[in-house]
Amino acid sequence: MADPERAIEVLCALRDRGVRVSIDDFGTGNASLAYLARLPAAEIKIDKAFITELCDDGRAEAIARSTIDLARHLDLRVVAEGIETQAVFEHLAALGCETGQGYVISRRSAPVR
């Protein structure tokens, strides 16, 4: 993203050819709301930093809940990264997260519901 305009141009060309773009580690580093508004993304992946603490940290839970709701309103798929316990898995399902990845599921993305 050293050249955001060029990156957006390339990603739009890829999207037009049927490639689905995913924003990884959403909520940390460069994966911010500014990019969400500009990039032709089909999916966002919530960073595991928010997911692993979901059941124990009200702020992490609020961020995950808000991100899932935001994705739904923007018609984006949302993937929760780092699902390591059954409790987190069930909590995400209750929040409406449809897809997740983590060792409690498998090494690949899988439906949460």
Among all chains, which residue has been given the structure tokens 């519901």?
Answer: 113
pLDDT at position 1: 66
| Model pTM score | 0.81
What's the rounded Cα separation, in Å, for the pair 6 and 8? 5
CATH code where residue 68 lies? 3.20.20.450
Number of domains observed in the structure of the chain: 1
Structural domain including 68 reads 4-111
User: What are the tens digits of pLDDT across the range 75-112?
Assistant: 999 999 999 999 999 999 999 998 999 988 876 666 66
- Region 26-45: mean pLDDT is 79
